[in-house]
Structure 1
Amino acid sequence: MDEKTLSQFLEQILATAQAGLTYSTDRFDIERFRALQQATAALLATDTGQPVTRIQNWIDLDSHYPTPKLDVRALILDSNQHVLLVREASDGLWTLPGGWCDIGESPADAVVREVREETGLSVRPTRLLALLDKHKHAHPPQLPHALKAFFLCDSHGGELLQQTSETTAAGFYAPTALPELSTHRVLTEQIRYLYAQVAAGNMAAAFD
């Protein structure tokens, strides 16, 4: 079984267990669903090298009916029409600034917060460029299932920081000369597609 197929299989197991815990009242069924979660956490820990308690805590944080998570990313261009990228501290690779939406936070508010935290810049989202399903693009297999919202943002203040608690560098790059990207977060073809849409003045948002 290849890595993508295994990831999707484990994701389906976790979604089934989570739905069962949400709606089941029989204590034996509840125990079975929790056992499914624990077995999946143990397998993921072995595969990723992370502590099983950390993965179990992540699983436990998700409750109610299972739905995809939402990741937001900002496309910010400078006067030379180069794209702002940040280097992630976690893997040393580059990406558009962004991250997960928090509970109670709109996607637009989330992208403003993420850009400020990762770059020091204040931005204003002006357009939703795309809403994409990670499963339909060439991202490496990764849990949980996520949708990705890409916003065009204008910078209107702040100072570009070279290091934050989450990033170790920031800079503007031509779309034709991108550094090595963190492909869990963004793909070269996505950046170039979004850039081309903006350059062409295409106002329609892409979606899967």
Structure 2
Amino acid sequence: METSLKWLDWAKRIQGIAQTGLAYAKDVYDKERYEQLRELSLEIMAEYTEVETGKLTQLFAGEQGYATPKADIRGVVIQDGKILLVREKEDGDWSLPGGWADLLLSPTEIAVKEVWEESGYEVKAKRLLAVMDNHKHNPPAPYHVYKMFIQCEITGGTAREGVETSAVRFFGRDELPNLSRSRNTEAQIGLMFDLLAHPERIPVID
């Protein structure tokens, strides 16, 4: 990891130690110390990211049990040589349809649901393309995330905006718009084109 980003790695580790400690500690004083560690990690993240302390607290307050990476599921639809992207209302940039994994749903079920909710297209999940560690491939973020990219095939529906999206379009590899890089990078989108052109490489895990 670059020296300039070591602070984020340290903050995540502190957060993980605190969360795991709170899950298993029995002594009230130990719990107080783990709460202090959690607050310290949030202060560090808020100081060096654009996420406010209040939002960070809200994000991590519900995290319980042994600290483990979150799962982000992305539906990959390529049709006539172009890839389906949606514009995120949150930042105005574009991403593959997707989001956090939901309880009681499998990765393929989540991919199908997210594509429908964010683009208006009904799809069938076909196969796993890649599992990528955001710690290695995406800009700094509070969470450690495993991103799953799942190929989907359109079976119905029409393009429409969603609750979290403001536009739906297909883009060629050489005409990509500004991407929401915390969700997907130019390299990841390029990899999706490559994997579908060379299925013998599937899946990629990194």
Shorter chain as denominator, the TM-score bin is over 0.9
How far did residue 135 of structure 1 move? Answer: 1.5
Output the CA distance in 2 between the equivalents of 1:202 and 1:83.
20
Output the CA distance in 2 between the equivalents of 1:81 and 1:50.
37
One-letter amino acid of the structure 2 residue matched with residue 182 of structure 1: S
**What are the superposed Cα offsets for residues 179-208 of structure 1, whole Å, 9 maximum, x if unpaired?**
111110111111112211211232630002
Gaps of at least 5 residues in structure 1 are none
Which residue of the partner structure matches residue 36 of structure 1?
37
How far did residue 118 of structure 1 move? Answer: 0.5
**What are the superposed Cα offsets for residues 21-73 of structure 1, whole Å, 9 maximum, x if unpaired?**
11111111100001111232234344445553332121111100010000011
For the 8 Å contact 1:102–1:110, the answer to whether it is kept is: yes
Output the CA distance in 2 between the equivalents of 1:87 and 1:152.
19
For the 8 Å contact 2:11–2:44, the answer to whether it is kept is: no
For the 8 Å contact 2:139–2:181, the answer to whether it is kept is: yes
Which residue of the partner structure matches residue 14 of structure 1?
15
Q: More displaced, 122-131 or 3-12?
A: 3-12
Output the CA distance in 1 between the equivalents of 2:51 and 2:77.
34
For the 8 Å contact 2:11–2:42, the answer to whether it is kept is: no
Output the CA distance in 2 between the equivalents of 1:82 and 1:49.
33
Residue 175 (structure 1) aligned to one of 158, 173, 176: 173
How much is the aligned-residue C-alpha RMSD, in angstroms?
A: 1.7
Output the CA distance in 2 between the equivalents of 1:203 and 1:117.
30
One-letter amino acid of the structure 2 residue matched with residue 192 of structure 1: G
**What are the superposed Cα offsets for residues 132-157 of structure 1, whole Å, 9 maximum, x if unpaired?**
111122x1100110000001100111
How far did residue 170 of structure 1 move? Answer: 1.0
Which residue of the partner structure matches residue 58 of structure 2?
57
Within the alignment, does 1:90 sit opposite 2:90 as a pair? yes
For the 8 Å contact 2:45–2:142, the answer to whether it is kept is: no
SS of residue matched to 1:176:
helix
For the 8 Å contact 1:131–1:206, the answer to whether it is kept is: yes
Within the alignment, does 1:151 sit opposite 2:128 as a pair? no
Aligned length: 205
Output the CA distance in 2 between the equivalents of 1:43 and 1:195.
37
Which residue of the partner structure matches residue 68 of structure 1?
69
Aligned pair in 2 of structure 1 residues 49, 175: CA closer, same or farther (>3 Å)? closer
How far did residue 110 of structure 1 move? Answer: 0.9
